[in-house]
Amino acid sequence: MIRFEHVSKTYKNGTVALRDVSLNIDKGEFVFLVGASGSGKTTFLRLLLREELPDKGRILEAGRDVSKVSTWRVPYLRRNIGCIFQDFRLLPNKTVFENVAFALEVIGRPRTTIDSQVPQILDLVGLTEKAGNRPSELSGGEQQRVAIARAFVNRPLILLADEPTGNLDPSNSETVMALLERINRTGTTVVMATHDKALVDRMRRRVIELDHGEIVRDQVRGVYGIDEPVGGR
Amino acid sequence: MRVYLRYAIRETLSNLWRNRLMTIAAVLTVAVSLSLVGAALLLKQSAAQASAQWQQGTRVTVWMEPTATSSELVNVRSQLESLPIVKDCAFFSQAQDYQEAKKILPTVEWTVLKVSDVPSSFRCVPTVPSNAFVVESTFANQPGVYKVTAPEQQIREMNRAIRILQIVFLVLAAVLLLSATVLILNTIRMAIFARRREVSVMKLVGATNWFIRIPYMTEGFIQGLLGSAVAIGAVTALHTWYPLHNEFVLTTSALMGTNAVVLVVGVLIGSVGSGLAIRRFLDV
């Protein structure tokens, strides 16, 4: 599903974000991306979204070479990728329903699709009763669930999550993770960048650790810390 | 498509309403500058038309002294007739000129005028209008000649005045058009800046650039359209209620042409301005 071949990325100010990264993520995998701030996690996700282009190497996503996608086709590429963030990025002047519907609206889905899909996805994230509320009337966990609903309503092949639990308390983190697992079980590939040690340790999923732009660890059923390695890949 | 149409219309209208003060400013600037452009165009066209009419009827008139002897008259006439640049000459006797003066002058003046006070004249049509000056310089100092007059000089001065006026109008209009473009650009940029979260979410979930761009470009288009509508009203009003002189009055088709130019320029300024404004927010 995702394939990096000797990918390097250096920003204009000289910061080396990724250095010769090669990896392969299969369809339906759940991958944690860990590492200190500035280790290249965000760049990794930005490259997948094609917000950046690699300087060297090749990125294949759903069988397509990302660098070769022409600019006007980038939106179509992004329709296959759901995305959630630490700061939710909801639209404050729209209701929960409208926030989720917006994702379908802007890709030109007809009203009938919106009216059938949005209640379905709100039911999945357990926010049916809050459909008419504004994001400001929701808790952080609920807001993140709205964001997940918006990212997933279009049934993307890949879901990218940039520290989705960064702003949440443990019990809300729990709910969000359960939701991501559930989405993963539908066959969606999930890539999640995180700093949440407890969470990674408990989930026992594939862990890729980045350090100064290089992959220093890639474990099938990994934990957060490098001080307790559990079987290399 | 129908979904998008509804979306675009809703977005455009809500943007216009949200930025109504800036919208009014932009519309008025477009209106004022386009009115000037329209006025300059009208002026140019009527000046061209009027000067064509004047030049067609250019005559040079050689006025003889009322006391001129008949030998002087014969001398001037034979010279005029032998001059190749003069097409055609008509002699107006003192009696004929007296009759003409009676028509032109106020009653009080012509009642004290006697036929013997009036000069006789040669009314000549030169082959080309500029030749009127040659006639003037040749005959001004001939014995028995009182004065040679040619309207060419006045036409030329009038034309120059109109040309200067026209340049002033056009420069002013260009400056105002530029500021109208900048105002529209700024209005749209503010609208997008206020909604950059929305734009970034749209890009994130895979909205195409044109999808995002069109409501904003429509907004600029409408501002330009409203501005040019006001300008067309002003130009038409100027044309209808302020007829300068018979020779200046233009045909309806000339007015329509001017209005079409005003409309096209206004609409272009609006759409292109907003298209430029949004460009920066779209490349990610």
pLDDT digits over B171-213, tens only?
A: 887 887 888 788 778 877 887 787 788 888 888 888 888 888 8
Q: Are A9 and A51 in contact (CB under 8 A)?
A: no
To the nearest whole Å, the CA of A76 is away from the closest chain B CA by 6
Average pLDDT, chain B: 80
Residue A114: what pLDDT? 93
**Contacts across the A-B interface (CB distance below 8 Å):** 54
- Of the pLDDT bands very low, low, confident and very high (cuts 50, 70, 90), residue B16 is confident
Q: Where are the domains of chain A?
A: 2-197
ipTM of the shown complex: 0.82
**pLDDT, greater one: A178 or B246:** A178
| pLDDT per residue as tens digits for the range B44-78 | 777 777 666 666 666 788 888 888 888 888 888 88
By CA distance, what is A77's nearest residue in B? B206
Which DSSP category does B105 fall into? S
To the nearest whole Å, the CA of A39 is away from the closest chain B CA by 22
Question: pTM for the complete prediction?
Answer: 0.69
- Of the pLDDT bands very low, low, confident and very high (cuts 50, 70, 90), residue B242 is low
- Of the pLDDT bands very low, low, confident and very high (cuts 50, 70, 90), residue B170 is confident
> Mean pLDDT throughout B72-92?
82
**pLDDT, greater one: B6 or A19:** A19
Which chain A residues touch B204 with a CB distance below 8 Å? Answer: 49, 78, 83, 89
Q: Are B61 and B124 in contact (CB under 8 A)?
A: yes
- Among A138-142, A187-191, B152-156, B214-218, name the one with the lowest average pLDDT: B152-156
By CA distance, what is A46's nearest residue in B? B284
pLDDT surpasses 60 at B246: no
- Of the pLDDT bands very low, low, confident and very high (cuts 50, 70, 90), residue B145 is confident
Which chain A residues touch B7 with a CB distance below 8 Å? Answer: 105
Q: Which residues contact B28 (CB under 8 A, 6 or more apart)?
A: B227, B230
Residue A232: what pLDDT? 43
- What are the residue ranges in chain A where pLDDT is below 50? 228-233
Q: Which residues contact A4 (CB under 8 A, 6 or more apart)?
A: A21, A22, A23, A24, A57, A58, A59
Residue A228: what pLDDT? 47
Tell me whether residues B206 and A77 touch, CB distance under 8 A. yes
Which chain B residues touch A101 with a CB distance below 8 Å? Answer: none
pLDDT surpasses 80 at B215: yes
Question: Distance from first CA to last CA of chain B, Å, rounded?
Answer: 26
Residue A227: what pLDDT? 54
Percent of chain B with pLDDT over 70: 87
Residue A145: what pLDDT? 95
Among chain B, residues having any CB pair with chain A shorter than 8 Å are 3-4, 7, 197-198, 200-209, 211-212, 284
What domains sit in chain B, N to C, each tagged with a CATH number?
Answer: 2-54+156-282 (no CATH), 59-150 (3.30.70.3040)
Structure tokens at B200: 């970034």
pLDDT surpasses 80 at B130: no
Architecture of domain A2-197: 3-Layer(aba) Sandwich (3.40)
By CA distance, what is B208's nearest residue in A? A75
Long-range contacts of B268-271 (CB under 8 A, 24+ apart): B268/B224, B269/B30, B269/B177, B269/B180, B269/B181, B269/B184, B269/B224, B269/B227, B270/B30, B270/B184, B270/B220, B270/B221, B270/B222, B270/B223, B270/B224, B270/B225, B270/B227, B271/B217, B271/B220, B271/B221, B271/B224
